[in-house]
Chains A and B, each alone.
Chain A
Amino acid sequence: MKYKISNLTEMQVSALREIVNIGVGNAVTSLSKMIETGVKIEVPDFKVELIEDVPEVLGGPANVVSGVIMQVTGDIDGYIIMMLPEEAARTICEIITHEENTDILTPINQSLIEEVGHILAGSYVSSLSDFLSLNIKISTPMQTFDMLGAIIDHILIEMSQKVEYALLFDTLFILQGDRTDGFFLTMFDPDSMDTIIGRVDKMI
């Protein structure tokens, strides 16, 4: 199945973007409260990509990041992934633990990052779920620090067994104090996207 972004009306695309924006906005507000630091987000970028091209689109498969992955289940299927460059992961750990020169690879800091990702995704998903009147759940988080391509390839493998294209929303968030940033990525398969679009159509 070929899924084209051009099949969507401008109205649908902007409604989708707005829903994701509000969801990520809620998530980032939770983050901002947790770390008592201003966090800005950019308007989500919505893309339809061939699965094989996803690592390249996200900044290159060799890019080393701290990634937290959660599976989305319920009325729609997909993944939510938070990706932080080392600097952003360290900043978040240091703000929360009040320590300096933090090693983000200690078990305690790894689980801290994992939990931050989980809380963010939780508020994001509950906002999506309210907005779209859909039953959406997230799995327990999985966290690792490695090459971006390696972190997400098993997700892409799983999706590629069903579909050729992935729908991505990526949102850049910026921790104001330190000017470090991270990505919040949502990936759905086209069937789930149809479900979402169906709900969006009822709203607009």
Chain B
Amino acid sequence: MIIVGMADSAVVKKPEKLTTLGLGSCVGISLYDKSTGVGGMVHIMLPSIESARSKENIAKFADTGIPSLVDDMVDAGAYKHRTTAKIAGGASMFSFNSNTQLNIGERNVTATKNTLDGLKIPIVAEDTGQNYGRTIVLDTENGELTVKSALKGIKIY
């Protein structure tokens, strides 16, 4: 199992698994091409690179991290037009967030959807929002995404 850190991404081939841990307001995007068994995952923190002061790590942002992950998957043999997405995270962990951070989770989810839409990659499953953390595991054997939480159990998409 390959662990994808915060603001990090990775691409693997069948039968390897990919995981990212403890998503709160961050969003985990898992991409999979069933025909080749190539899977990818990115753990984004912010919607867009545009307003960022430091643009060094492109995996940090939805609008740069996702296209770059798609490129890496294509390099690994995946077909872009057969790739599908499953997304999780984007929670709002506390009800009294400071004003500037209002709904950062929601903004991350919206940016993720817009970016995937622009790339014409369909979202086939989504487990986002609410107020709890999530750990996700992509099994490239079958494309299943397991979403685990501390108190809300396990779901498989």
B133 within 8 A of A: yes
- When the two chains form the complex, which single residue of A56, A144, A160 contacts B93, counting CB atoms closer than 8 Å? A144
Q: Given A55-B6, A62-B21, A149-B6, do A157 and B96 touch, yes or no (CB 8 Å)? A: no
Residues of chain A contacted by B52 (CB below 8 angstroms): 161
Chain B's nearest CB lies how many Å from the CB of A93? 17
- When the two chains form the complex, which single residue of B7, B54, B93, B135 contacts A151, counting CB atoms closer than 8 Å? B93
Let me know if B100 and A150 touch, CB within 8 A: no
Q: How would you classify the secondary structure of chain B's contact residues: helix, strand, loop or mixed?
A: loop
Chain A residue at smallest Cβ distance from B22: A149
* B side interface size, CB within 8 A: 37
Residues of chain B contacted by A53 (CB below 8 angstroms): 5-6
Interface size range of chain A in the complex? 35 or more
Residues of chain A contacted by B101 (CB below 8 angstroms): 154, 157-158
* A105 CA to B6 CA, complexed, in Å: 28
* A160 CA to B25 CA, complexed, in Å: 13
A145 within 8 A of B: yes
* A84 CA to B138 CA, complexed, in Å: 30
* A140 CA to B98 CA, complexed, in Å: 11
Let me know if B98 and A153 touch, CB within 8 A: no
- When the two chains form the complex, which single residue of B45, B131, B151 contacts A153, counting CB atoms closer than 8 Å? B45
Let me know if B91 and A157 touch, CB within 8 A: no
A164 within 8 A of B: yes
Q: Which of A60, A139, A161, A163 has the most CB of B within 10 A?
A: A161
* A174 CA to B8 CA, complexed, in Å: 34
A152 within 8 A of B: yes
Residues of chain A contacted by B135 (CB below 8 angstroms): 61-62, 147
* A151 CA to B23 CA, complexed, in Å: 9
Additional pairs, 7, CB under 8 Å, beyond known A142-B96, A157-B46, A157-B104: A60-B22, A61-B135, A145-B150, A149-B133, A154-B94, A161-B51, A161-B53
